[in-house]
Structure 1
Amino acid sequence: MSTLHHRNRPMTGRDPHEPARTATPLELLFDLAFVVGFGVAGEQGAHLVAEGHVAAGVIGFAFSMFAICWAWINFTWFASAFDTDDWFYRVTTMVQMVGVVVLALGLPDMFGSLVEGDRVHNEVMVAGYVIMRLAMLVQWLRAARQAPEYRATCLAYARTLVITQIGWLVLAVAPVSVSVFFVGGVLLGAAEMAGPWLAERLRTEGPGQRSTPWHAHHMAERYGLLAIITLGEGVIGTVASLSAVVHESGWTLDAALVALAGTGLTFGLWWTYYLTPDAEMLHRHRERSFVWGYGNIAVFAALAGVGAGLHVAAYYLEEHSHVGAVGTVLAVAVPVLVFLVVDHVQFGLLTRSFQALHVGLVLGAVAVLAAAVATAAAGLPMSWSLVLVMLAPVVIVVGYETRGHQHVARLLGQGSGQEKGA
């Protein structure tokens, strides 16, 4: 494919076995727009939790993460299969980036309305989401027209987009209560996720019914890059917590421990994420892509939730929080636990394997997190509790590096373990 110009090219589908396929500069730019969405969602969720509105903060954060991650996922799988990098493709990608920004601008109103409890003010948020999805609709229709062998599959994606966007628009303009909105949101979310599964799986042998030609190693890399972006929220949360300690007491032992805890936790979660041989397993078993692709929504939400939890810790250290020490530690420990559990479940489902060592490692991490909560309940400084939370992924990493890599090596039929994306 020529890179000297960007005139329109036929969207005929990429080679799913293309050698040395990597993320493009446009995809990396696209990902940067999602930094805004993750940041606003984490900040708003942390603020509500610190104010004592825990349920509203958690629900709003979960809903925001689904909307953000789902829009990213649909574009990313499409790009892996049909990226032409011509001017029209670039412009429609830019439109989706605009939608991400609009969605992020609408998040504060949505979070605030959850506290008020009257109705959900999600008009701006849904407008941003619809902008992203309409741009995606144009892409699917273009692929359907220019790639006849994938026509029926692409049109199935397009139909799902049209139906679900009508539903989101109704929820945005109708004066519905919080409970009605989230029931409708769950149903529409289920429909959004069912659409690709039906398009890719429930096919006949007729013309245009081929599965989209996504690239396994490319997809593993793309998901890994988004995981790094969500981990960036942990770095931001660490800086916020550290600033609170330094502002209160100057550079002390507590400040050093908070810096160690936040940075070490982010690093440990990154190391843990990259222990699963995603690329190789997806390459061998493309039929397992849906479990892996959808399950990572919970992974991304948990990683971003760790950053939000560190923001809650910053509020506590600044004495601007209505949540006690135990609740503050739980705000960090719970998303860490969710990540470790989901990540191991993902490993088992992707590799179709089970090892008692993994269960033992997760239980060990749970014990460390419980100890962190216990220290907070006992009145020890928050910095020590955060250090204990940091040690939870360390348990997983040490277990993998000493024994777990042998299990991965056996799964891959190789003499030594392979890292994710290798």
Structure 2
Amino acid sequence: MRARSPDEAHRSATPLELFFDLCFVVAVAQAGRQLVHALTEGHPGHGITGYLMLFFAIWWAWMNFSWFASAYDTDDALFRVVTLIQIAGVLILAAGVPRAFDTSDFSVVWFGYLVMRLALVAQWLRAAHGSEGAERRTALLYAAGVSVCQVGWLALLLVPKGVIPWVFVVMVLLELSVPAIAERARQTTWHPHHIAERYGLFTIIVLGETVAAATVAVQSALDENDELSTLLPIAGGGLLLVFAAYWIYFAVPVHLHLRSTRQAFAWGYGHYLVYGSAAAIGAGIEVAVEQASGKAHLSTFAASACVTVPAALFMVTVWLIHSRHQKRGLAQQLVLPVSSVLVLACTFAGDWAVPAAGLVAAVTVTVGVTLTARQGMALQEYPDYQE
């Protein structure tokens, strides 16, 4: 297993990577579904905490594979088999999500994680076997770090339930430190364009799951309630939010920003909030539909916040780690931060909160496109124009 060149031309995602992403979104859907159940039953603290914990496990396993494959994907038989084992692990994890949510029993989740992480360790050991010097040391550090962290996750099965969130925080810090420590020996040869494409593709899949979840919610509500005048505005506003999320994320060629490991770490780690909030938008739309149908035990304001808060978080996070690096001038820089505040303000719009947030998102895209077009015209007319 030899490291691939970071300057390789025409590097793109493989069918195996797309299959990998598709199977991972099953776990994302499970986490979102449990979040909906917790919120509609009036248990937001339990639901949000459980969602953040389980989503981290899903996202981190996906991220570990994606960066490894960007540097070492040989696409031979052994690489494919080990990757399929990782897919089996995430499906086991997904099966354990309801139990972890309902009773804080992480045994199935931990076992699924063990399958994924052992496969990843095997990949790093294979990379170490095929390399030497600093590159070999980096691969061994990754293998050792992943192994130690997996043992640490055992604490989730042994400590009292009240201590689990604190153990989770400690383990998250340890997990996040492994790449930072390992890459000190030698930076792995990840491919900027390939990584940007991988993250973009997973963003599309997560947004697709959001649309699917919202569609099922509306369909279920219509089967029991013919109040189209109540449900259609929620569905329309939710669809505008998802469309705007897609447009906002893909408005800039972010691979041009990934020029160093430090920049890549901040950008890659920040996607925990990007993916988590994108998936939560779909869960929020489900909650809003159930509340409008009279099946949720929460107020209109709380149901609206389930949509507007993750939508605003998505906007401001994408701006912070992604879009602002390609924006020029104060007006362009302020579009997403201001829009996120306006989306939050829509929470107070009562039954029209979701359609109002959707309209704000649509206006955000319109303003962004207009400002970009004007800047392009100014650059053509005045080549020295900078702001």
Q: Is TM (by shorter chain) over 0.5?
A: yes
Aligned equivalent of 2:139:
154
Aligned equivalent of 2:152:
167
RMSD over aligned Cα, in angstroms?
2.3
Q: Evaluate the alpha carbon distance shift between residue 199 and residue 356 of structure 1 in structure 2; reply closer, same or farther with a 3 A threshold.
A: farther
2:153 counterpart SS class? helix
Q: Evaluate the alpha carbon distance shift between residue 98 and residue 84 of structure 1 in structure 2; reply closer, same or farther with a 3 A threshold.
A: same
Q: Evaluate the alpha carbon distance shift between residue 61 and residue 187 of structure 1 in structure 2; reply closer, same or farther with a 3 A threshold.
A: same
Shift of residue 393, structure 1, vs aligned partner: 2.5
Equivalent pair of 2:96/2:108 in contact (CA under 8 Å): yes
Aligned equivalent of 1:375:
349
Alpha-carbon distance between aligned partners in 1 of 2:122 and 2:328, rounded to the nearest angstrom: 40
The question of 1:221 aligning with 2:204 is answered: no
Alpha-carbon distance between aligned partners in 1 of 2:36 and 2:98, rounded to the nearest angstrom: 12
Unaligned runs of 5+ in 1: 1-10, 114-119, 204-209, 377-381, 416-422
Aligned equivalent of 1:73:
63
Equivalent pair of 2:96/2:106 in contact (CA under 8 Å): yes
Q: Letter of the 1:184 partner, please give it.
A: V
Shift of residue 356, structure 1, vs aligned partner: 5.2
The question of 1:403 aligning with 2:371 is answered: yes
Aligned equivalent of 1:92:
82
Alpha-carbon distance between aligned partners in 1 of 2:378 and 2:131, rounded to the nearest angstrom: 40
1:17 counterpart SS class? coil
Equivalent pair of 2:327/2:333 in contact (CA under 8 Å): no
Alpha-carbon distance between aligned partners in 1 of 2:213 and 2:360, rounded to the nearest angstrom: 18
Give a deviation string over 1:365-392, Cα, whole Å, max 9, x none: 422431x32221xxxxx3x322112123
Alpha-carbon distance between aligned partners in 2 of 1:156 and 1:351, rounded to the nearest angstrom: 34
| Equivalent residue pairs, number | 379
Alpha-carbon distance between aligned partners in 2 of 1:258 and 1:105, rounded to the nearest angstrom: 30
Aligned equivalent of 1:362:
337
Q: Which of 277, 281, 288 pairs up with 1:306?
A: 281
Q: Evaluate the alpha carbon distance shift between residue 354 and residue 152 of structure 1 in structure 2; reply closer, same or farther with a 3 A threshold.
A: farther
Shift of residue 341, structure 1, vs aligned partner: 1.1
TM (normalized to structure 1)? 0.84
Aligned equivalent of 1:330:
305
Alpha-carbon distance between aligned partners in 2 of 1:160 and 1:410, rounded to the nearest angstrom: 51
The question of 1:61 aligning with 2:42 is answered: no
Aligned equivalent of 1:125:
109
Q: Evaluate the alpha carbon distance shift between residue 260 and residue 122 of structure 1 in structure 2; reply closer, same or farther with a 3 A threshold.
A: same
Shift of residue 242, structure 1, vs aligned partner: 2.1
Unaligned runs of 5+ in 2: none
Shift of residue 244, structure 1, vs aligned partner: 4.3
**Aligned pairs for 1:18-417 within 5 A:** 18-113=8-103, 120-149=104-133, 150-172=135-157, 174=158, 176-200=159-183, 202-203=184-185, 210-250=186-226, 252-282=228-258, 284-347=259-322, 355=330, 357-370=332-345, 372-376=346-350, 382=351, 384-404=352-372
Give a deviation string over 1:240-277, Cα, whole Å, max 9, x none: 34224423443734443333222222111111111232
Equivalent pair of 1:299/1:342 in contact (CA under 8 Å): yes
Aligned equivalent of 1:7:
none
Alpha-carbon distance between aligned partners in 2 of 1:278 and 1:34, rounded to the nearest angstrom: 23
Q: Letter of the 2:170 partner, please give it.
A: L
Q: Letter of the 2:270 partner, please give it.
A: G
Q: Letter of the 2:360 partner, please give it.
A: A
Alpha-carbon distance between aligned partners in 2 of 1:246 and 1:261, rounded to the nearest angstrom: 17
Q: Letter of the 1:73 partner, please give it.
A: M
TM (normalized to structure 2)? 0.91
Alpha-carbon distance between aligned partners in 2 of 1:265 and 1:192, rounded to the nearest angstrom: 32
Shift of residue 313, structure 1, vs aligned partner: 1.7
- 394-403 or 65-74, which deviates more: 394-403
Equivalent pair of 1:216/1:279 in contact (CA under 8 Å): yes
1:12 counterpart SS class? coil
Q: Letter of the 1:171 partner, please give it.
A: L
Q: Letter of the 1:403 partner, please give it.
A: L
- Percent of paired sites with the same residue: 37
Alpha-carbon distance between aligned partners in 1 of 2:201 and 2:232, rounded to the nearest angstrom: 29
Shift of residue 110, structure 1, vs aligned partner: 1.1
Q: Evaluate the alpha carbon distance shift between residue 352 and residue 329 of structure 1 in structure 2; reply closer, same or farther with a 3 A threshold.
A: closer
Alpha-carbon distance between aligned partners in 2 of 1:274 and 1:44, rounded to the nearest angstrom: 29
Equivalent pair of 1:277/1:408 in contact (CA under 8 Å): no
Q: Evaluate the alpha carbon distance shift between residue 184 and residue 144 of structure 1 in structure 2; reply closer, same or farther with a 3 A threshold.
A: same
Alpha-carbon distance between aligned partners in 2 of 1:408 and 1:222, rounded to the nearest angstrom: 28
2:74 counterpart SS class? coil
2:7 counterpart SS class? coil
Q: Evaluate the alpha carbon distance shift between residue 12 and residue 354 of structure 1 in structure 2; reply closer, same or farther with a 3 A threshold.
A: farther
